[in-house]
């Protein structure tokens, strides 16, 4: 039987006004930061420049070709990674999993390497498909391994996933090293939005579609979180819903990987914080997770751009520091029943 | 698998009832001292093979380069072996190791922060030795503080600590990279000169320094050997037997961090090497008593490094991917340990 973090499944009504405030705050911050994201960068793209220059100025061109795609990509990646973490947590019934702590990300990376090796000329969409396929295999392998471990200790599950990821990662590194692909591998696995342009970011919409799918199936995932017997008794086709969940997670992971690279801990931290705020009802928490995930990533991305202006720091580094710090806090929190 | 570290005194050999030579030989083999001697012979043979075989050109030149890398391997193996076994004793388990808990990453972070804050001063530019010693001192102070906080309070579950360690490692590494991105190129040069070297081409000043440090660390462990044995009984028993628990633990953490700093400075972070070496040492020595376990672990470390390098260089002609191979094997072994522990 899995233990869960001591999150109230239905918060008392007294906290409701406060919750609305928090939600409103997230919404406002999201709009403000997204607008700011359009105007931050080395070239001058400011509202005044846009008004003076008109539609065919450099500023307008930059806005359409680089700033808008980047902002959209950041928002979509943040939202969909949060959702991927949430779905995975429901599937595995464990609070501490996300694509990065289950080996899914590493499997998808291996798929990417295989695609680059076997069909170098393949379109990006095809490579992403292969990465997603490998991610799906990774999800399946992880769930098999978890089922094979008799003791279902809460923290043992992500540990096993991280090790699985480490082993797959070692295989990937080894082949990349032998085939002189190490540099290009680390190039695009490093999480960053610096190279995003129109024509190179559209794959991330696939992740957006997956968010919609997750939203439609939200209630089913809630029920899945109660366990197989319970779900079957309620008349749910357990295996099919789990299958849908696995596909959603794998596709989101692959789409994020080809557009932005690896972004650690996001899918883990965001759903946990949302669960602390509003509880564990998936239908209610999906917009929260998407909003908070997007907010988190856009804040980090703006930080990555301004902290050492005019140079950029890779986003994954900043998310790594903040995300790992939050994860540690979740693990060592007083009163968390994570043992 | 025993996770409670209950000491098995197998050097109290069973009564030697057997009259035959074989029985006597077997009981002699049960003595860790003899096993240690056998291991030492194998290690010496391997080192000789590494030094004197397959010389492409002049022997003197090859010896000069190779002996430096052998010394580096020995220093690293001793540092990793001793620090891991001591860490196991302090933390009362056999899975957590200093590198898994993020010590290596922590050392790199300290170096980076020091170069970041002081790097532009001319004084440190001219003297990498002073810079390095400052790094080690800061590392020891901070890690004693951090890890006594983590392990000193209420006992948390082993799996939780493992996860905390892995996340800490990520945290430190990300932070290090962040800092490195903020350095100007000259300071970055200073940092890479002091923080990284390789087994096959060690920097001589650094090798001398780390060698001295590791030697000092080993000398500091020698008077504590019996205390370490008592610590394996657990804190209450150790306190009951008159061990000043808090102080001893602090001192041992300090020794561990010195060793980690030395080995990380020589080869960079190696995650699972210590885990393999220490666990092999317990089974090979057949005892947890530190007078045997510590040297066995160190020698096994040398055996793994020199033997592995021999295999890769001379048999497979692979060159510099020894660390990848060790990590892969270590990762599998680690998974096995954790799962087997989970299965109980």
* Interface check A153 vs B, CB under 8 A: yes
Number of A–B residue contacts, CB under 8 Å: 103
Q: What is the DSSP letter of B102?
A: T
The mean pLDDT value of chain B amounts to: 78
Contact of A76 with A208, CB cutoff 8 Å: yes
Calculate ∠ Cα A217-A221-A225, nearest 5°. 175
The confidence band for A151, taking pLDDT boundaries of 50, 70 and 90, is: low
Distance CA A297, CA A78 (A): 5
Tokens standing for residue A91:
């599937």
Tokens standing for residue A291:
């909003």
The confidence band for B319, taking pLDDT boundaries of 50, 70 and 90, is: low
- Average pLDDT over every residue of A293-318: 86
- Average pLDDT over every residue of B268-273: 78
- A321 to chain B: which residues are within 8 Å by CB? 171, 174-175, 178
Instruction: For residue B309, give every residue at least 6 positions away whose Cβ sits within 8 Å of its Cβ, in sequence order, or none.
Output: B50, B69, B73, B199, B200, B322
Say if residue A339's pLDDT is above 60.
Answer: no
The confidence band for B119, taking pLDDT boundaries of 50, 70 and 90, is: low
Q: What is the DSSP string of A50-112?
A: HHHH-TTSHHHHHIIIIIHHHHHHHHHHHHHHHHHHHHHHHHHT-TT--GGGTTHHHHHHHHH
- Average pLDDT over every residue of B160-181: 83
In this prediction, residue A84 carries a pLDDT of 93
Say if residue A115's pLDDT is above 80.
Answer: yes
Say if residue B322's pLDDT is above 80.
Answer: no
Pick B156 or B20 by higher pLDDT. Answer: B156
- Report the residue from B324, B327, B338 with minimal CB separation from A159: B338
Asked if the Cβ–Cβ distance from A324 to B343 is below 8 Å, we say: no
Residue A216 CB burial class (10 angstroms; 0-12, 13-18, ≥19):
exposed
Query: Helix (H, G, I), strand (E, B), or coil: what is residue B99?
Result: coil
H helix runs in chain B, sequence order: 21-29, 32-52, 59-91, 103-118, 122-126, 128-152, 158-182, 185-195, 204-221, 225-231, 235-240, 245-267, 273-285, 290-310, 322-343
Calculate ∠ Cα B102-B92-B226, nearest 5°. 110
Least confident stretch, A61-70, A92-101, A319-328, B97-106:
A61-70
Least confident stretch, A149-153, A277-281, B83-87:
A149-153
Asked if the Cβ–Cβ distance from A177 to B321 is below 8 Å, we say: yes
The mean pLDDT value of chain A amounts to: 81
H helix runs in A119-155, sequence order: 124-148
Distance CA A191, CA B83 (A): 34
Closest CA to B74 of B267, B254, B330, B249: B267
Tokens standing for residue B34:
């003899």
Element housing A263 (H / E): none
- A339 to chain B: which residues are within 8 Å by CB? 156-157, 160
Asked if the Cβ–Cβ distance from A311 to B181 is below 8 Å, we say: yes
Contact of A77 with A84, CB cutoff 8 Å: no
pLDDT tens digits for range B40-89: 999 999 998 888 877 777 778 888 888 888 898 899 999 999 999 999 88
Pick B42 or B29 by higher pLDDT. Answer: B42
Contact of A69 with A128, CB cutoff 8 Å: no
Distance CA B258, CA B197 (A): 17
- Report the residue from B160, B174, B324 with minimal CB separation from A320: B174
Pick B45 or B285 by higher pLDDT. Answer: B45
Say if residue B229's pLDDT is above 80.
Answer: yes
The confidence band for B152, taking pLDDT boundaries of 50, 70 and 90, is: low
* Interface check B183 vs A, CB under 8 A: no
pLDDT tens digits for range A82-103: 999 999 998 888 888 888 888 8
């Amino acid at each position: 039987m899995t233990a869960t973090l001591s999150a109230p499944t239905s918060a008392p009504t007294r906290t409701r006004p406060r919750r609305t405030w928090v939600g409103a705050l997230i919404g406002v911050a999201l709009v403000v930061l997204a607008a700011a994201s359009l105007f931050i960068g080395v070239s001058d793209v400011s509202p005044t420049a846009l008004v003076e220059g008109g539609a065919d100025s450099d500023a307008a061109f930059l806005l359409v070709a680089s700033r808008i795609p980047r902002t959209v990509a950041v928002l979509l990646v943040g939202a969909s990674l949060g959702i991927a973490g949430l779905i995975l947590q429901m599937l595995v019934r464990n609070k501490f999993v996300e694509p990065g702590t289950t080996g899914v990300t590493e499997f998808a990376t291996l798929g990417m390497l295989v695609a680059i090796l076997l069909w170098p000329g393949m379109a990006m969409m095809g490579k992403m498909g292969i990465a997603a396929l490998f991610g799906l295999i990774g999800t399946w392998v992880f769930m098999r391994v978890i089922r094979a471990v008799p003791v279902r200790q809460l923290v043992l599950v992500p540990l096993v996933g991280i090790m699985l990821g480490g082993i797959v990662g070692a295989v990937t590194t080894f082949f990349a090293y032998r085939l002189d692909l190490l540099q290009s591998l680390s190039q695009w696995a490093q999480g960053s939005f610096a190279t995003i342009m129109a024509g190179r970011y559209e794959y991330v919409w696939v992740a957006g579609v997956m968010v919609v799918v997750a939203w439609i199936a939200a209630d089913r995932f809630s029920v899945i979180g109660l366990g197989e017997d319970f779900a079957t008794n309620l008349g749910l086709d357990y295996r099919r819903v789990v299958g849908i969940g696995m596909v959603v997670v794998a596709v989101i992971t692959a789409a994020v990987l080809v557009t932005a690279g690896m972004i650690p801990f996001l899918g883990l931290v965001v759903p946990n914080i949302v669960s602390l705020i509003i509880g564990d009802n998936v239908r209610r928490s999906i917009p929260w997770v998407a909003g908070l995930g997007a907010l988190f990533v856009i804040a980090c991305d703006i930080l990555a751009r301004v902290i050492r202006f005019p140079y950029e720091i890779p986003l994954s580094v900043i998310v790594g520091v903040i995300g790992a710090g939050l994860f540690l806090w979740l693990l060592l929190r007083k009163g968390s029943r994570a043992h | 698998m025993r996770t409670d570290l209950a000491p098995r005194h197998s050097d109290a050999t069973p009564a030697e009832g057997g009259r035959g030579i074989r029985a006597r030989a077997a009981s002699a083999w049960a003595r860790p001292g003899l096993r240690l001697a056998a291991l030492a012979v194998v290690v010496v043979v391997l080192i000789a093979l590494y030094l004197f075989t397959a010389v492409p050109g002049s022997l003197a030149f090859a010896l000069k380069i190779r002996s430096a890398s052998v010394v580096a391997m020995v220093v690293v193996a001793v540092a990793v072996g001793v620090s891991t076994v001591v860490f196991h004793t302090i933390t009362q388990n056999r899975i957590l190791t200093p590198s898994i808990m993020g010590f290596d990453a922590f050392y790199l972070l300290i170096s980076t922060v020091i170069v970041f804050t002081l790097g532009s001063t001319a004084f440190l530019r001219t003297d990498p030795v002073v810079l390095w010693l400052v790094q080690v001192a800061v590392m020891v102070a901070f890690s004693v503080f951090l890890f006594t906080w983590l392990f000193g309070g209420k006992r948390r579950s082993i799996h939780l600590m493992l996860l905390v360690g892995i996340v800490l490692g990520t945290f430190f590494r990300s932070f290090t990279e962040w800092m490195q991105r903020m350095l100007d190129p000259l300071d970055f040069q200073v940092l890479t000169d002091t923080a990284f070297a390789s087994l096959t081409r060690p920097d001589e000043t650094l090798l001398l320094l780390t060698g001295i440090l590791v030697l000092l660390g080993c000398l500091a462990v020698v008077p504590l050997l019996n205390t370490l044995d008592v610590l394996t009984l657990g804190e209450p028993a150790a306190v009951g037997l008159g061990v000043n628990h808090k102080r001893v633990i602090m001192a041992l953490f300090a020794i561990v961090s010195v060793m980690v700093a030395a080995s990380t400075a020589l080869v960079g972070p190696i995650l699972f090497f210590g885990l393999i070496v220490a666990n092999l040492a317990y089974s090979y020595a057949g005892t947890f008593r530190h007078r045997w376990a510590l040297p066995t672990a160190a020698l096994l470390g040398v055996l793994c490094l020199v033997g592995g390098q021999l295999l890769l260089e001379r048999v497979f002609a692979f060159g510099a991917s020894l660390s990848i191979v060790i990590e892969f094997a270590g990762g599998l072994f680690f998974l096995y340990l954790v799962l087997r522990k989970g299965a109980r």
